[in-house]
Structure 1
């Protein structure tokens, strides 16, 4: 029997840029839509049904002495193909436990910084989905920002750190993944915050995020300051932490900018997006470190797993911030929208509390890449 590899072990390889060879045995259409990327990854796609009679057809594509990680949708087909590779003389073969379904749910905590008054800031990287969430802790208290639905990860992390989650915040009403915000707040007896302009249809109580109202984490040591920054949604709100870190939500990414169309208002919201990017953000300190809620391209993932950039550098290098003419900007945004995220309308309704799909259905709804960015 071939060995198995956990998503945690694979994540460590990718964020540390270890040489990683992956054989993805899903069908080509699924592979082309969504695959494992990042770090120093070499990936080959060969549908498993082409290999059932033998793996000779890919023998010249793989090094028999190299570690090979076989990946499928749920982990069953990859085990079968890994066994066939071993029988064919491959000596270091693993099957990824749980396949792409498990990979989609893995969260990898990456330390961003020690904060100036003794706290810490962490980024949780969802490598299989490109989602980023944040954990701020200070003096026994914590805030979680843009949490994924796998809330047990944040609860365990808080226990390890010996802190209590007091605040849970979403920068906006998400459309590409199911937020764990409300459930996490319920489980920890914390307060759940949403921008009120994004919450006009929600079915639950929440605390409104309003510009100028700081949220204190710990003994006044960490200030999370909401900054109203519409464009991706009408209520999108950014946070400045410790006067040094700008959490941009889905407004600004390292190599792209947010899309304004997921609620059906692209033509209306593109002006808000431009105002935020070309005026509100531009007035902020260029020394702020921008920390987005997603990444789209593998090269945005730095060594060690961190996704970040100095705001001033983004204004020099991010092509979405280089279009001075407003009409050209509108054209660039509205003509470069990628396909809608899978089940995005059902995801929005779930995040509003209008529907409550079963756990397995929620997993299925989130399958696939995030598509929150304008394509360059």
Structure 2
């Protein structure tokens, strides 16, 4: 009987850059669209249907004594293949528990910093999706920023830390994943904050997230200061924490910049995007640490598993910030857009409260990589 490996175990390997061999038995098109990635990760794709008559051919590609992790969509096919491999003499085979669906939902908490007056800041890295969310902790209170829909993970983390989640905040109306912010606020009896310019069609009550209206977490001086920064959406709002950390939402990433087209407004919003990146952010201190809401490339993970970089460094190395000529910037943004996120229109409607899909349907809607960035 093959042994299962949890997403927790695999996540630690990715974070620690351990050499790992993965056999992905999904269909070739699914594999090409989205797979497990990381420094030290080697992935072989051999569709399940090619192995139904036997796994003998795998011995030509894989040493039978080599450790291998078999991955499929949901965990069933990988377990069958792993057992077939063991019967064929492979001695160190694991199947990934829950498959790519479980991998898509795994959140890895990473401590970013101790804040002034005793607070702390954590980043939750969604390795299988590229989403980044945050928790600010001070005294006995917490705020969660850009929460994913797996609210139980934040609730359990807060309980472990002995704090109550008082605020949930979305920097913008998300289009590539379903926000857990509103549900988390309901679960915890907190308040949900959303930029009003992104909330024109929402069907629920919220607290407007507006520049100049600070949110104080706990009794210390940890403050979340909204900074209006449109471009990815018309309401996109950045958050300045402790005068040291700039949460940029989906406006600015470590190796790319936000895309302005997920509400069909690319031509209208590209100028807002440029204004935010080339004027508003340039007025800020280069010493600020940028903490984005997504990452697109494995190289953006630091050695501790976090995704962060100084703003001044990004102005030197991020190619999306190097295009001085306005028309050239417009061309770069509108001509380098990756495919739009799967189900992005329905995800936006769900985040507006216009749809309420069942849990399994929500999982299906989110399957796939991060596609919130402009890529050269």
Give, in whole Å, the separation in 1 of the partners of 2:312 and 2:62. Answer: 43
Aligned residue runs from structure 1 range 255-294, under 5 A: 255-294=255-294
Distance 1:182 1:206 in 2: 8
1:88-127 alignment runs, 5 A limit: 88-127=88-127
Other-structure match for 2:307: 307
Give the 5 Å matches for 1:184-203: 184-203=184-203
Residues 145-200 of structure 1: CA deviation (Å, up to 9, x unaligned): 00000000000000000001011000000000000010000111111000000000
Is the Cα contact below 8 Å between 1:118 and 1:221 reproduced in 2?
no
What TM-score results when the alignment is normalised by the length of structure 2? 0.99
Work out the CA distance in 2 between the residues paired with 1:125 and 1:361: 23
Contact 1:39–1:301 under 8 Å retained in 2: no
3-state SS, counterpart of residue 324 of structure 1: coil
* Distance of 1:331 and 1:194 partners within structure 2: 30
Paired residue for 2:235?
Answer: 235
CA distance in 2, matches of 1:14, 1:65: 22
**What runs of 5+ residues in structure 1 fail to find an aligned partner?**
none
Instruction: Give ranges in structure 2 of 5+ residues lacking alignment.
Output: none
Alignment match, 2:130 = 130
- Is the contact between residue 290 and residue 309 of structure 2 (CA under 8 Å) also seen in structure 1? yes
How many angstroms apart in 1 are the aligned matches of 2:61 and 2:272? 49
1:86 deviates by 1.3
Q: CA deviation at 1:39?
A: 3.0
Shift of 1:105: 0.7
RMSD: 0.8
Partner of 2:82 in structure 1?
Answer: 82
**2:182 alignment partner in structure 1:** 182
Q: TM-score, normalised by structure 1?
A: 0.99
Look up the match of 2:48: 48
> What CA distance in whole angstroms lies between the structure 1 residues aligned with 2:316 and 2:89?
51
Q: 1:34 corresponds to which residue? A: 34
CA contact (8 A) 1:287 1:312 kept: yes
Q: Deviations over 1:249-269 (max 9, x none)?
A: 000011100000000000000
Q: Which residue of 2 aligns with 1:216?
A: 216
